Amino acid sequence: MIRNPILPGFNPDPSICRVGDDYYIATSTFEWYPGVQIHHSRDLVNWTLVKRPLERKSQLDMRGNPDSCGVWAPCLSYADGLFWLVYTDVKRFDGNFKDAHNYIVTSPTIDGEWSEPVYVNSSGFDPSLFHDDDGRKWFVNMQWNHRTESYGGAPKSPAFDGILLQEWDPKTRELVGPIKNIFAGSPLGLVEGPHLFRKNGYYYLTTAEGGTGYDHAVTMARSRNIDGPYEMHPNMHLITSKDQPGAVLQRAGHGQYVETPDGQVYHTHLCGRPMPPKRRCTLGRETALQKCVWKEDGWLYLENGTVVPDVEVPGLNGATLAEKPVRTEYSFDGGKLPADFQWLRTPEPQRIFNLTDRPGHLRLIGRESIGSWFEQALVARRQEHHSFRAETVVEFQPDTYQQVAGLTHYYNRHKFHAAVVTLHEKLGRCVTIFSCDGDYPNGRMTFPAGSGAALPPEGRVQLSMEIRENGLQFFWQTEGMGAWQPIGPELDAGVVSDEGGRGEHGSFTGAFAGVFAFDTSGRAKTADFDWFNYEEL
């Protein structure tokens, strides 16, 4: 039995690809590095992270990209003995423009080294590459119209100006032939996320509509000709929860069709699981999978007979979900960052961390402030549960208040909480709290614990946080204390979410738990972390 979401935590815009008996899903990573997550499964139930392919400066450099920019909506496919990955690097979010540059990379193996990128176009985001039966390849993406009041956080339908189609020549590695706008979308509007497939003489086009909030939907259309005209699905939308506010899986939309070797059919989609009372999705947009059926009218439908996605869906061959550990203990032995962790924007991680200067430790090199769009030393893993505990231990000897290191619950520069070790003029070395409760656009911090609590002048400091749905409590202790000490009041963990602060459509990533350091004096003070634990509560 498939249990949705199959990829919990921040894993949006799922593109699915089957090669033999192997299934792969690529999801967006936005400003987190390396770019694009690819998970693998053989039963559609259990999924394992196998690669983040955009891992070199020549492939992806997001320094300076604003929050919620970077890698949007990848498309993964397989043809001609190669895996093909199409992706967007978005350079602007606010105002009328997006500056969305689209690229293609390839690899003969999913977990190997991927090629240098080939630039394709910049007319809009959410690109997709379709390999037709006759060997021709077609590139589709939404077209962005800047001539409307389509400001970030409040999308307007006229900005989403249809789906463009153009042939792509793999020999010249260029787009060729006419550009055609093949689909304007449904009355719901905000058409994006196009994927093409061919079946029984028709070209089927699935798109995302309604924006990636609570009106999101998967819309389906078909045509005998690849360039249209396209007729709409009888229900207009294949998958949506927009009219069912009580459904467990909300914000359902943006996905892709896949067939099993024996002809069973499924469709991925992103979703969100809002927490009451404010309906904030603290886990971001997650990936789900729905069982579908073809009916006599030649259209695809959810097997459950509705358009509303299910939490439990039949899998393959009676597969069951493998039991996952409640607690994951990460060490930094072996000189390699654990696979669950990422960092922000920079393709030069040696500037912000290493695991070699002090073997067995993650050394963070203090650079720019928490929330910098260029070079901040923040290493973190996704929040995958509504309630969890994270803890770590740090060795850090600040000699100015401009040097800070600690533990953070992080979304972006205006949505985070952090327990930090720093220096205070009167307390000396101390532990306190930095918090930004969604103050957009200014990003002003508050200090819920004031100046904090004095620490011994030397020695390791343990930091932890417990998130229980919408509440967050920080704790600390030094070795030998024997008990965790709470610090500060309970904080609003729910603001560290898609809907927090700026609100729906204002940001599109997810909450992370991790460690960070900065040194705004410019002296690159280092902080050493021995371990990091994450535990579902």
* 39 CB neighbour count, 10 Å cutoff: 21
Amino acid letter, residue 20: G
Amino acid letter, residue 355: L
Q: Which of 174, 303, 368, 375 is catalytic?
A: 375
Place of tokens 């604003």: 66
Q: Using an 8 Å Cβ cutoff, are 380 and 406 in contact?
A: no
Instruction: Please state the separation of Cα 108 from the chain's center in Å.
Output: 25
* Dihedral sign (CA 97, 282, 339, 260): negative
Q: Say how many CA atoms lie within 13 Å of 261 toward its Cβ.
A: 9
Q: Say how many CA atoms lie within 13 Å of 238 toward its Cβ.
A: 33
β-pairing, 341-344 vs 377-382, is antiparallel
Q: How far, CA to CA in Å, does 93 sit from each of 152, 291, 526?
A: 6, 35, 33
Cross-strand bridge partners of residue 137: 131, 168
Structure tokens at 304: 């459950």
β-pairing, 160-169 vs 174-183, is antiparallel
CA-based nearest residue to 141, from 209, 78, 87, 84 = 87
375 is catalytic: yes
CA-based nearest residue to 158, from 126, 190, 127, 192 = 190
Structure tokens at 364: 């963070």
SS (H, E, C) 86-116: EEEEECCCCCCCCCEEEEEEEECCCCCCCCC
Coil/strand/helix, residue 335: helix
User: Rounded distance, CA 151 to CA 502, Å?
Assistant: 12
Q: Using an 8 Å Cβ cutoff, are 269 and 252 in contact?
A: yes
* 116 CB neighbour count, 10 Å cutoff: 10
User: Rounded distance, CA 302 to CA 307, Å?
Assistant: 6
Active site residues: 375
